[in-house]
Amino acid sequence: MHAPAGLRLDYLSPAEYRVAECAGVLGVATFNGPPAPTPGSGEIPVAEVNTPLLLGTADVCEVWRSGQPAESGRRNRVRFRRSENLLFGCIALAESEIAPAVSAGPAAPSALQVATEEAYREICATLDALGFPHLLRVWNYLPDINRDSDGLERYRQFNRARQHALSACGRAVRGKVPAASALGAASGSPLVVYFLAGRVAPAFIENPRQLSAYRYPREYGSHAPVFSRATLLRQRDSLTLFISGTASIVGHRSIHVGDTAAQTRETLANIAALLEEANRVERTARFSLGSLACKVYVRRPADLPVIRAELTRALEPASRVIYLQADICRQDLLVEIEATGMCPLKADA
């Protein structure tokens, strides 16, 4: 896929990252530790995520570029880098550092809830202070996502705290909410959140095959997840489609429980439906499965050959795909795929 002007995503090895042009880099995410530093890269925010890479890949850096000059900064615990219209930021909070300050008692919030609320309050305050009001895409990684603690599954604790923080900051929790993913990181990892924000609001895309996540019934928790199925950013020269973490869910129910291949196919069907909807909403768009950069989360590493075979059949040989081991928000889901699509705009569009 030819890289259009504007926002760009690359998956680079550490060696490739070291020789990359840093001027346009907004931010980086790593999955097997931080990348080796490059000249002038000390100011670039790096989200260090602990979800091991599969397929024998030693290291990959997820590199976001703006195509414009950028400057870095820090506000409290949020590290950020901004260009004229885009901002990348990240924050990491260790529950072990928060736990001693958490009050005891049956109604007291858990360390994860406190960390989540603090992270989102700091993110919102940063966006307000810098004048980037619109969250476009958010990535959340929390350890032991499916484990019960303090009487509640940790993913449900996270959803409660995220919703409380966003509401307290005057932000929407339904409708005009960013694309997002929430995955399980290795035990003992900090809560890591990284995000992209803009000065201009995106279009918010829902999947006609699925109930919007923020409308899930209470059987999935007292507080619904806060994300859109996708967001579509229009810039002067390009369109960027951010597809949230997508799995084998139709309506609001998990389907093909226990069948890894069928779950992968259903996930791809959901992504295809989102592409069709995005192309309908933005008539100049021509997004397709083969043009996407995909990040694939695999619950059980032994399932990787089955998942990879399904993606190989569905995607083009040149498609950019990385595979990571991570627990998924529902225990009956075995695979989740997030994706980013980018295409240029014609001059007369």
Report the b/e string of 123-137 with b at 16+ CB within 10 A. bbebbeebebebbbb
Radius of gyration from C-alpha coordinates of the chain: 19
Of the candidates 51, 86, 69, the residue with the CA atom closest to the CA atom of residue 202? 86
> Which residues are marked as active site?
336
Q: How many CB atoms lie within 10 A of CB 343?
A: 19
User: What's the CA gap between 46 and 83, in Å, rounded?
Assistant: 16
**The residue to which tokens 């993110």 are assigned:** 123
User: What's the CA gap between 297 and 50, in Å, rounded?
Assistant: 12
Cβ contact 336:267 at 8 Å? yes
**The residue to which tokens 């570029």 are assigned:** 65
Cβ contact 224:163 at 8 Å? yes
Of the candidates 74, 64, 61, the residue with the CA atom closest to the CA atom of residue 24? 64
Read off the tokens for 158. 């996270």
User: What's the CA gap between 136 and 228, in Å, rounded?
Assistant: 10
Maximum alpha-carbon separation in the chain: 62
DSSP 101: G
| Three-point CA angle 145, 268, 64, nearest 5° | 65
